[in-house]
Each structure stands twice: as C-alpha cells, then as structure tokens.
Amino acid sequence: MTSAPRPDDDTAWSAFDARDRAWDGRFVVAVKTTGIYCKPSCPARHPKRENVTFHPDPPSARAAGFRACLRCTPDEVGRDRIAVAAAVALLEAAEDRLSLDEVAAKVGYAPHHFHRLFKRATGVTPAAYARALRTGRAANALSEDSTVTEAIYDAGYSAPSRFYEADAKRLGMAPSAWVRGGEGVTIRWTVADTSLGALFVAATDKGLCRVSFDEDAVELHHRFPNAKIEPGDAALSDLAAQVVAAVESPERDHDLPLDVRGTAFQEAIWQALRTIPLGETRTYSELAALAGRPAAVRAAGTACGQNPVSIVIPCHRAQRIGGALGGYAYGLDRKRALLASEAQRADLQE
C-alpha cells in the first residue's frame, strides 16, 4: 500500500485548523515560534498561520531543526499508521491464513497491543478483516466460477469445510444459492411510512438486506434475479416498525439483524459508520483512515453510496472536510433532515 502525498498547504492548514484526525500520519505541522512539530489533530492551542510550515513526515521536520511535540507524540502516530497499512497489505496479499502473532511480528508490535491498534484504526480486528477478505473473494468467485468448490478454493480456503464453518453464514445464503442469483432464498419486502417519505424494507430469514427510500421490489429482482421475492408477513411488519423507529427515534438503541455483504473495505467503512455517535459526523477521510486506507477517500465515499441498508448503517453521517454534506443516494434534503433530527435529539440527551 502506497502512502498518500502530502496535501497542499491550504488543505493542510484546513485539516490542522479543524484538528482532523483523519490526516494524522499523512503530514506534520512545524511551529516556528516553539521549534516543535505536531500531528494535525494536536489539541494544543493553534499558532498563527504565518508561523507554521508543513512537512510530509517527522524525519523531514527533524531535518529542518524541529523536535516532536510531547503532547500529541506525532512520531508514534506515523509509526502506528504505517504498521496498520503494512498489516492490511500483508492480509490482502496472503494466500494462507496469517495469525495475529505473525502479522504483529512482521510489523514490529506485540500481538495484544497491535490487536487494539488495528481495531481502533479499522473498526475490526485483524482476524475479522481477514475473514471479510476471504468472504469477498468467495462471493466474487461464486459469481464467476462454474462450481462452488472451485470458488471456495479460489478464495483461499484450505478446504470447503473451512468455508462452511467460518464464512458461509456471512453471505446470508448458501453459496450455491449465491452463484445462482439467490435461487432457493426467500426475500420478503414491505413499504413503511416515515416522516421522510416511504421507506422500502426487505429481509431474508436472517435479517435486513435492503433499506432504502424511493424504491420497490424491482431493485430486489435486479440484485437477486432467481430469489423468491414476495410481500412481507407479520414478522417483517414488526421488523419494519423497528426500522421506522430508527428513523423517528434515532436516540434509542436499535439492534437490528442484518443480512448484507460487501468487500473487506466496504464492510470496514460500514462498521466505522455504525460507531459514529448520535449527533456527530465523520469525514470521508476519517472513515478511510478508520478502514486502514487513509488515501482511499474517494473509495470511502463510494462505499457509503453502496450501503444496502440506509439508516441502519448511518451513511448520512458521512461528509466532506469543511462540513460540506457530500452525496446521499436519497437526496441531500433527507440527509439534512436526518442530521438535524439527530443533532436535536443528541442535545436533549445531554
């Protein structure tokens, strides 16, 4: 994985002024009046714009005569980010499973410490990240290979039993059904009224597979052309009512069952979205950093747009640096309304 180039000075100053953690490790800020350099999110009082310079990394700042800030420890941030990026590259390139001990040793950390570091940066553990990689490969292979067994081996499993034991459940349907466009799987759907308009809700027996505005069953037929798609029953009505509650009462804890899948990166972004507290937002660059790929800002935005279960995975809480809303599949008016409602309810909880 290659690191992103240092941003231009105006972008760097904006990130520093906003204390944007997503830029930590991508450049450092050197303060002429104190002789120290800091990470972009340093909590110390900011100097004047004319008193700072920007450097791509700590060594270049040290070469210019600056020393590390003792408050924000920018050297450690850079080292941690490099280690996570290296681990992601190792996991993605590995043909066989790598243990936590092996990954941690290769990037120079103690296993227990690196486990916490990796999860904090990506939102998932190294083992979960590796499982998501294999599942994504299996899903892709199941769409291309002529047999399920070939797909399982192509995805990197040592035997079919390993796939069925560890990852088949994550696809939400039997692998043979996946390769046949959902054949043998029943997906039920309904439409529920919300203050933001009609909400389309669809689920398998395992959980929600589609939550969206302004859609109908045509979308399900497109995604699963051979599945049995039918109107919902009483059980789905109850589940849909819980989804509506997540729209109208976002401050409540809504632990809803999901039956979704994506690539390892998409799932890391979706996991990061679910960790955003009520009333808060994260930039696409922050989400990319949490997913272990700080340079993949555009891909993070794409992953938000590919979220199959809006509201439940709150992709509306993602925005651009500087506060611009960015995109939203169901219209920026709805995004503004969701964010305003959540901010108001978060204030009431304080």
Catalytic residues: 38, 315
Residue type, 195: S
Which positions ≥6 away from 312 have C-beta within 8 Å? Answer: 208, 211, 243, 246, 254, 256, 258
H-type alpha helices, 6-155: 9-17, 58-63, 74-93, 100-107, 111-122, 126-144, 148-154
Separation between Cα atoms, residue 253 and residue 104, nearest integer Å: 35
Task: Check: CB of residue 37 under 8 Å from CB of residue 16.
Answer: no
**Cα-based distances in Å from 39 to 20, 78, 84, 131, 234:** 10, 9, 17, 33, 54
Amino acid in position 44: A
3-state secondary structure of 324: coil
Token readout for 11 is: 């972008």
- What burial letters (b/e) apply to 295-322, b meaning 16+ CB within 10 Å? bbbebbbebbeebbbbbbbbbbbbbebe
- What is the C-alpha to C-alpha distance for residues 314 and 308, in angstroms, rounded to an integer? 11
